[in-house]
Amino acid sequence: MERIITAIKEAQSLWKIILCIYAFQFILASTIGLQMMQVLDASLGNSLSLEKLESGFDYTVFTDFVNVHGGSFSVLYGQMRWMVLTYLIFASLISTGIIYCLIHKSSQISDFFKGSLQMFFKLFIVDVVFAILILAIMAISFALTGMLFGIAPTSFDTELVFLRWTLLISIIALLLIFVLTLWKIHIKFNYIKSDQRIFNSIGSGFKSFWASKWRYIAYTFFFLIISLILITMNYAAGDLPLFPMIILIQFIALIKVFWRIVFYKVIGT
Amino acid sequence: MKNYIITILILFHVLGINAQCDAILNPPQSARLANYKMSLNLDHENKKSTGTQVITFKNHSPDTVHELRMYMYLNGFKNTYSTWIKGAEGNTFGQDLTSRKPEDWGWVEVLSIMDQSGNDLSSGKKYIHPDDDNEDDETVLLVPLQKPILPGETAEFSTTFESRLPRTIARSGWGHNDFFLWVHWYPKLGVWEQDIDGVWGWNCHQFMRQTEFYGEFGVYDVELTMSDHLVVGASGCLVSDTNNGNGTRTKVYRAEDVIDFAWAAYPHFDEIKDRWKHVEITMLSPPEHRSLQPRFIKVLKHSLEYLEKHVGTYPYNTITIMDPPLVGLRNGFMEYPTFSTGGSFYGFPKGIRTIESLIVHEFAHQYFMGIVANNEKEAPWLDEGFVTYFEDRIMEEYYGEQKSLIDLWGFKIGNAELSRAEYTSMDNHREAIVAQPGWKFKRYTKELVYSKTGTTFQSIRKMFGQETMDLLMRTYFDKYKFTHPRANDFLSIAKEVISERHGLEAGNNVESLLHQALYTTAVCDYAVKTVRTIETRTKQGLFGTRGGEEKKSEAKGVKSVIQVERKGDFIAPVEVEIYMASGEELIKKWDGTDFIKEYVLDGEVVSVHIDPKENLLLDIDLNNNSYTKENNKDPISKFSWKTSNWLQHIFQSLSFLM
């Protein structure tokens, strides 16, 4: 716990970097949000159906809207896919920059960018490799679950057997993803800290992670649970009136950036 | 006396006889034209049964019957060339049927058939394929009679038959751990009736994928002998249950005034009993679904209550609900007389009420198809559409409008909303008409037969009120219960009831609405096209004699020009509600015929709303039915902010990858 409190204190000093990351995510997401606003305004702006949305989601309004204006959604969806892919490249820069600042105990935005750009290419390759591995684990677990689902009615006595297998597969997949994520963070810390060759960092990163693996995994669970609570709060905020909702959901988005830095600090140092 | 009673009780106990319910419906509800006495031995290891059957058939027509036609629907699962499986076009709940072992297929075969004079009719029997000429289909058996059945005469036929269940493809079948659902398991007569031209004959269609029920009313006395480790549930009423002492039990069931008989067996069924008024409820479910049982019972009681209040009393004394285990899930989601099958999973969330809506749907089939026994093959909308309407009504009545189906984490969907959306979301609303035989549907059966019809009925209810709708349904039910009504029977009653209560014009409107909805592919879409405000001046230009004084405007006025539009070809009268800036509210009646209707009004318009009560639910886009200049755009802002926010979360969540 002490480690987390220290990390929270240290993360607070990086508020400029936190704001910078938050602003970047916000601006990127807003481009879609604004287009969504235009689409909705053009199609529903003068309809009395809008009154039904004042009290929340209305299935009939929504389906009629999608049936008629679904094409506009498709365009936005297409943009969103490219945006997410582009963001993943930036995400590599961001994580490298955060780790650089944490190691050098700097809260300067210039150091954040310097660190990101200096280390970017080598660490980007590490990121890509690990992302592929994580995606592969997810794909395999989905495929296994799908296969079990297919054979379940003819092979299992009850759905409980299927559910237990699915739970087991999910736990194993989650653990493997945790291991890869934690290992990757250690690689980055080791590489940036000691300026050693990237291959050496892969080995040393694994060793430093493995030395306290269960503690790290426990931390990761803790951080995941807090993140899920934040997402739940964010979902619940949707019922608030417009202005308080905007304030609260954006605050939660900001906290999530902060929480990520705390996580890096706890895991990597 | 006391000893005498005790002796009787002991005797009953030893024999294992328990009178479970009162099977006798007094007086008989139907003409009981086709009655079955059957005795069956189940060989559970080989998934096979051998049976004897005595069919008593009464020829109620003025014509002579020269042949019998029988449903042999279990043969629909005999091979990949049956009409049922061909019609499935490879889509049989995601199963690969090409790699089945021979013992995984099912069949039913008449080994012998004799008339009451002792004539063996077996040699003349042959399979026929009246609908599609598929030589490989063996779902309709023709048996020529040596002694024709004269008008008014009752004939008796004795058969021996064998049937084997398939490993479940759909409907009938077995799953491992000795799960069995026996439907379409015995040779069953078609319906001897007049066709649309008045000619008497057998109505006995082949087994096809989309629709399957049409049977004659009668009494079923069924004796089932099987291993005593099986827990059994069946149509009708358990008359006796005898332990044979050799590892088998014999259960005798009686079902009166029904069109079919189904039963299920599984060693692990949890059986619970409950009661609603005169109805004994039996619930069979696997142990892992125990926590869901109260949901099934509760919604079943709601259904009984609602249908009694709005349609008519449930005439039978029993209803059995079978919630299959996972191995029998493909057997679920179906309806048989006094026996319905559900479908659920362990831990099914309370906020998702598909379990409930399914039970309501299948139970409502007891009324429409079971009691009002329309020909589901030729006019499936006559039961599926009715049942969808009642499913929507019952769900909304007991679970609330706009949240009756899903009410989870703030996400809400009403059952009726979903039914409407199933139709309005079709990519081609002109795919097919509703009122056509089930086998003619290539796709969109659910959307058209169930949802469009159900939504049409909802529209009628909203237009004319719940009372009128109830009267319409009750009149139809009372007149045609235990008979075989056709589409025109219902359409006539609809016009008659609405005309009587709301006038002839209303009757004509409902006739037109039903015709367009069921017999045409017309699309309904009314919209506000434009609302313009024009400044007017009271007087402009020259007035008086040449060279006279020029008068300029003295006062400004405002006129509003409203254009409403019929975008589709479905015509229905609608109201147009107009709010003026002065606070005045105007209701204009529009017959809905013109493509564009224009209203010019003095003053400024605040809002225009076509069909403001949203009676015409078949309108495929209700959002374009209204226009207002002064909208609160908060919902748009909120939705857009939420979209941005969720994208931010996606970015943040994906960051773990990099």
For residue range B414-425, list pLDDT tens digits in order.
999 999 999 999
Choose between A231 and B510: higher pLDDT: B510
Instruction: State how beta strands B279-285 and B270-276 pair.
Output: antiparallel
- Between chains, do A36 and B640 touch, taking CB under 8 Å as contact? yes
Say if residue B169's pLDDT is above 80. yes
- Among B375, B76, B380, B334, smallest CA distance to B216 is for B375
- Between chains, do B636 and A181 touch, taking CB under 8 Å as contact? no
pLDDT category of residue B38 using cuts at 50, 70 and 90: very high
pLDDT category of residue B16 using cuts at 50, 70 and 90: very low
Choose between A130 and B543: higher pLDDT: A130
Distance CA B423, CA B418 (A): 9
pLDDT at B92: 72
pLDDT category of residue B9 using cuts at 50, 70 and 90: very low
pLDDT at B631: 80
List of chain A residues whose C-beta atoms are within 8 Å of the C-beta of residue B642 = 238, 249
- Between chains, do B655 and A95 touch, taking CB under 8 Å as contact? yes
Domains within chain B, CATH numbers bracketed? 31-216 (2.60.40), 386-519 (1.10.390), 526-541+552-634 (2.60.40)
- Between chains, do B627 and A48 touch, taking CB under 8 Å as contact? yes
Q: Report how far apart the first and last C-alpha atoms of chain A are (Å, whole number).
A: 14
Contact B401, A58 (CB under 8 A): no
Query: Which helix (H) or strand (E) element contains residue B50?
Result: strand B48-58
pLDDT category of residue A153 using cuts at 50, 70 and 90: confident
Distance CA B527, CA B565 (A): 5
For residue range B62-117, list pLDDT tens digits in order.
999 999 999 999 999 999 999 999 887 766 767 778 778 899 999 999 999 999 99
- Among B203, B206, B253, B254, smallest CA distance to B232 is for B253
Instruction: State how beta strands B279-285 and B318-322 pair.
Output: parallel
State the average pLDDT for chain A: 90
Distance CA B352, CA B357 (A): 10
- Between chains, do B626 and A87 touch, taking CB under 8 Å as contact? no
User: What is the least distance, in Å, from the CA of B403 to any CA of chain A?
Assistant: 10
pLDDT at B5: 47
State the average pLDDT for chain B: 93
Contact A183, A204 (CB under 8 A): no
pLDDT category of residue B11 using cuts at 50, 70 and 90: very low
Angle at B22 between CA B305 and CA B183, to 5 degrees: 75
pLDDT category of residue A200 using cuts at 50, 70 and 90: confident
List of chain B residues whose C-beta atoms are within 8 Å of the C-beta of residue A63 = 417, 421, 424-425
Which residue of A lies nearest to B621 if distances are taken between CA atoms?
A: A64
pLDDT at B89: 72
User: What is the least distance, in Å, from the CA of A1 to any CA of chain B?
Assistant: 23
Distance CA B507, CA B468 (A): 12
Query: Which helix (H) or strand (E) element contains residue B315?
Result: none
Query: If DSSP codes are grouped into helix, strand and coil, which group holds residue A196?
Result: coil
- Between chains, do B412 and A239 touch, taking CB under 8 Å as contact? no
Contacts for A25 with CB less than 8 Å, ≥ 6 apart: A87, A253, A257, B648, B651, B652
Report how many Cβ contacts below 8 Å link chain A to chain B.
205
Distance CA A11, CA A101 (A): 10
pLDDT category of residue B305 using cuts at 50, 70 and 90: very high
List of chain A residues whose C-beta atoms are within 8 Å of the C-beta of residue B645 = 29, 33, 234, 249-250, 253
Q: Considering chain B, what percentage of its residues have pLDDT values greater than 70? A: 93
CA A14 to chain centre: 19
Contact B320, B235 (CB under 8 A): yes
Residue of B329, B624, B652 lying closest to A25 (CB–CB): B652
User: What is the least distance, in Å, from the CA of B439 to any CA of chain A?
Assistant: 28
Parse chain A into domains and list their residue ranges: 2-268
pLDDT at B20: 54
For residue range B436-460, list pLDDT tens digits in order.
999 999 889 999 999 999 999 999 9
Around Cβ A164, how many Cβ atoms within 10 Å?
Answer: 12
Q: Give rounded-to-5 percent helix, strand, coil for chain A.
A: 90, 0, 10
Say if residue B12's pLDDT is above 70. no
Distance CA A50, CA A159 (A): 43
For residue range A42-67, list pLDDT tens digits in order.
989 999 999 998 888 899 999 999 99
- Between chains, do B650 and A84 touch, taking CB under 8 Å as contact? yes
- Between chains, do A61 and B622 touch, taking CB under 8 Å as contact? yes
Sign of CA dihedral A145, A150, A156, A157: positive
Flag whether the ipTM exceeds 0.85: yes
Picking from A31, A32, A43, A49 by the largest number of B CB atoms within 10 A of its own CB, the best residue to mutate is A49
- Between chains, do A61 and B623 touch, taking CB under 8 Å as contact? yes
